[in-house]
Amino acid sequence: MTDKTERRDFLRIGALGLAGGALLAGTTAIPTARQAAAQAATASKLREVLDRGHLIVGTGSTNAPWHFENDKGELVGMDITMAQILAKGLFDDPTKVEFVRQDPAARIPNVNTGKVDITIQFMTMSANRAQLVNFSRPYYVEGVALLTLPGTDGKNFDQLLAAGKDARVSILQNVDAEAGVHMVLPMSQVMQLDTQANVIQALDSHRVDAAAVDLSTVRWMVAQAPNKYADSSKTWQSMLYGAAMRQGDLDWLTFVNTTFEIAMFGHENELFDKAFKEYFGDTPTARKTGFPAH
């Protein structure tokens, strides 16, 4: 019996069913750590998921590189990998996940009504949202970046900055769009467009010199088509992505955080590193032994 299997078996045992009858009436036997854990937190989502035998995750299906369908119709992406990392921690099997495809507006309601165990859907952490859900530790630092074209004069940020008022940048239309671009390219011409596809199409057709999009989008597109797109190497306006859980369950929150920590900084890096390379075209920094530095 593996250590993880033994741990799950003990967690499934109720307070009156300790393994092997180790605590009999009238004895002074001290329970093991696993036996004591089996009596604790009986209402925790962690116990519920273990008893059910699979994890239920709310996510999307239309936003590469976070959650989308591959050529086989399979749901893939970095959010999907984070869910698989949790399933592996729970059951030693990354496939034991049921995905509930949900609209972004349902990310918090579906957690709080119990429709899903956790939402992993490129959700930006904020103080306002943290009043409604518990967030896991961040698993990605998002930001705004500039997608450019290789082989052009404006393919890197210094060239765009030097171009001054001749630099043209497309961005998704919103109230702060122009001010956001002018934070880093104060003299540039800003073209606001109605969809992300049109923002990138303006770059493809050379109507602009750069497209201001999410950093993850830049890395994804450059990783998929390095001969077609380039990264200007400029990012700004950092945001944190975290998984969302219902409040009031410290055991579940702690388990999720611990599992993410192990995958990102500990000894079980295979799933995380493979996905990071595939979706962002980069290799995570090597983990160094010694005092923690993350």
Q: Please state, in angstroms and rounded to a whole number, the distance separating the CA atoms of residues 182 and 156.
A: 16
Which residues span the domain enclosing 135? 46-139+242-280
113-149 pLDDT, tens digit per residue, is 999 999 999 999 999 999 999 999 999 999 999 999 9
Residue 287 included in any domain: no
Residue 293 included in any domain: no
Provide the CB-side half-sphere exposure for 284 (13 A, CA).
20
Two structure tokens written together for 71: 């050529």
Angle formed by the axes of helices 215-224 and 270-280, to 10°?
80
C-alpha distances out from residue 290 to 89, 133, 266, 273, Å: 24, 34, 12, 21
Q: Which element (helix H / strand E) includes 77?
A: none
44-64 pLDDT, tens digit per residue, is 999 999 999 999 999 999 999
- Judging by DSSP bridges, how do beta strands 189-193 and 168-172 pair with one another? parallel
Confidence of residue 35 (pLDDT cuts 50, 70, 90): low
- Residue 249 near residue 44 (C-beta atoms within 8 A): yes
Domain count of the fold of the chain: 3
CATH code for the domain of 121 = 3.40.190.10
Two structure tokens written together for 68: 């989308």
pTM: 0.83
249/135 same-domain check = yes
DSSP 134-179: EE-S-SEEEEEEEEE-TTSTTSSHHHHHHHGGG-EEEEE--TTHHH
- Residue 212 near residue 176 (C-beta atoms within 8 A): no
157/217 same-domain check = yes
227-268 pLDDT, tens digit per residue, is 999 999 999 999 999 999 999 999 999 999 999 999 999 999
Give the residues across from 140 on adjacent strands. 241
Residue 145 included in any domain: yes
Reference 121, options 136, 53, 147, 74; nearest CA is 136
Residue 286 included in any domain: no
Residue 191 included in any domain: yes
233/261 same-domain check = no
